[in-house]
Amino acid sequence: MYKYRPNQKQHTDTHRKRRREKTVQILKLVALGVVLMGIGAVPSPRAVSRIFKELALKDTKQNHRTIKRKIWEMSHRGYIEKSPKKYELSEIGQRIIEKEKLWNLRIQTPKKWDDTWHIVVFDIPQERRNIRIAFIRHLQQLGLVFYQRSVWIYPYAMEDEVREIAAFFDILPFISFIKANHVDNSYDLKKYFKLI
């Protein structure tokens, strides 16, 4: 009988995140041209050694099998393609790397706040609501705060980072930026961002 475990989802999310990170690391090595092909379209021993080093794995038979299976899986899913001498990134693989870069974006915060609020306003069409949800998740990841419907706010310049995310999702025409010296509820926002 199935027994409910309160932390099971957290464990699953952590496991999924680790697998995704592994995939991205291998894709980056493929992009650098490190993953050369050996006999039988499997990665060469030198390529496998480099992957072990990058993933901080021990050189064991089990890990060799794991890496070969991972490469096969990535090839099967269309993340990488075989060329005569090495594996190369497919368009899907390239997009995965670009998407991962977005999650690693960080906004530079100056030592002193200049009393300017930076606001992003967007009007993404309803038929692209899935993209809207993904875009909002990235805004949250950057640290922006929901101000009101389709309006997010931050105390520091974040336009470049938000533009990069919008460009990835092909929604730049639906986004505008505002700078303001005063906004309603500024006291609560200042407290939230630890500016007072």
Average pLDDT of the residues of the chain? 82
Residue 70 — pLDDT band, cuts 50, 70, 90? confident
pTM value > 0.75: no
**Domain range list for the chain:** 8-103, 117-192
CATH class held by domain 8-103: mainly alpha
Which of 194 and 83 is assigned the larger pLDDT? 194
- pLDDT number for residue 58: 74
What's the CA gap between 48 and 36, in Å, rounded? 9
What's the CA gap between 175 and 139, in Å, rounded? 13
Instruction: Return the exposure string of 139-167: e unless at least 16 CB atoms fall within 10 Å of the residue's CB, then b.
Output: beebebeebeeebbbbbebbeebbeebbe
- pLDDT number for residue 1: 39
Specify the DSSP class assigned to residue 193.
T
Assess if CATH 3.30.70.240 describes domain 117-192: yes
Q: Which of 16-20, 119-123, 144-148, 161-165 shows the lowest per-residue confidence on average (mean pLDDT)?
A: 16-20
Directed axis angle between helix 91-103 and helix 8-31, to 10°? 120
Q: Give the highest mean pLDDT range of 64-68, 98-102, 125-129, 187-191.
A: 187-191
